[in-house]
Amino acid sequence: MSRGRLLATSVIAGLGLAAAWQVSGLHLGDSEERRLAQRLPNFARAAALPSCAGAGQSGLRLLILGQSNAGNHGAPANKDDHALLDLWTPQGCVQATDPLPGGSGTGGSIWSHLPDALQTLGRRHRLSLAVIAVDASSISDWSDAKGPLGRHLRQRLQALNAAGWQPDLVLWQQGEADMRKGTAQAEYKEGFERLRLSLREQGIAAPMLLARSTLCAGRRSEQVRAAIDDLQRRHTDLLAGPDTDQLDAAAARFGACHFSQPGLTQAAGLWARAIDDALRALKIGEAAARPASTLWSATGQEPTLRP
Helix (H), strand (E), coil (C) string for 89-156: ECCEEEEECCCCCCECCCCECCHHHHHHHHHCCCCCCCEEEEEEECCCCCHHHHHCCCCHHHHHHHHH
Residue 18 is assigned to a structural domain of this protein:
no
CA dist 39 → 62, 149, 171, 177 (Å): 22, 10, 20, 14
Compare 120 and 300 and report the one with higher pLDDT. Answer: 120
Cα separation, 185 vs 296, whole angstroms: 28
Give per-residue burial for 269-278: e unless 16+ CB within 10 Å, then b: bbbbbbbbbb
Q: How many CB atoms lie within 10 A of CB 64?
A: 25
Q: How many CB atoms lie within 10 A of CB 203?
A: 13
Compare 178 and 284 and report the one with higher pLDDT. Answer: 178
Residue 54 is assigned to a structural domain of this protein:
yes
The torsion angle over the Cα atoms of residues 257, 235, 132 and 167, rounded to 10 degrees, is 130
Residue 14 is assigned to a structural domain of this protein:
no
Residue 247 has pLDDT above 50, yes or no: yes
Nearest to 263 by CA among 277, 244, 276: 244
Amino acid at 130: A
The whole domain housing 225 covers 34-298
Residue 251 is assigned to a structural domain of this protein:
yes
Q: What is the mean pLDDT of the chain?
A: 85
Q: Give yes or no for a contact between 89 and 54, defined as CB atoms under 8 angstroms apart.
A: no
Cα separation, 64 vs 166, whole angstroms: 12
Residue 5 has pLDDT above 50, yes or no: no
CATH number at residue 274: 3.40.50.1110
In this predicted model, what pLDDT tens digit does every residue of 163-212 receive, in sequence order? 999 999 999 999 999 999 999 999 999 999 999 999 999 999 999 999 99
Residue 239 is assigned to a structural domain of this protein:
yes
Averaged pLDDT, 208-229: 97
The whole-number pLDDT of residue 282 equals 86
Most confident of 43-52, 57-66, 200-209: 200-209
The whole-number pLDDT of residue 52 equals 93
Residue 153 is assigned to a structural domain of this protein:
yes
Cα separation, 83 vs 221, whole angstroms: 35
Residue 294 has pLDDT above 50, yes or no: no
In this prediction, residue 214 has a pLDDT band, given cuts at 50, 70 and 90, of very high
Residue 69 is assigned to a structural domain of this protein:
yes
Question: 28-42, 65-79, 98-112, 144-158: lowest mean pLDDT where?
Answer: 28-42
Residue 5 is assigned to a structural domain of this protein:
no
Number of domains observed in the structure of the chain: 1
Averaged pLDDT, 106-118: 97
Q: Furthest-apart CA pair in the chain: how many Å? A: 83
**Which bin fits 114, alpha (ψ -120 to 50), beta or left (φ > 0)?**
alpha
Cα separation, 224 vs 184, whole angstroms: 7
The whole-number pLDDT of residue 285 equals 56
What residues have CB less than 8 Å from 286, skipping those under 6 apart? 125
Residue 35 has pLDDT above 70, yes or no: yes
CA dist 307 → 143, 187, 228, 236 (Å): 15, 15, 15, 12
Q: What is the pTM of this model?
A: 0.84
Question: 54-68, 145-159, 258-272: lowest mean pLDDT where?
Answer: 54-68
Nearest to 295 by CA among 278, 307, 276, 272: 278
Residue 3 has pLDDT above 70, yes or no: no
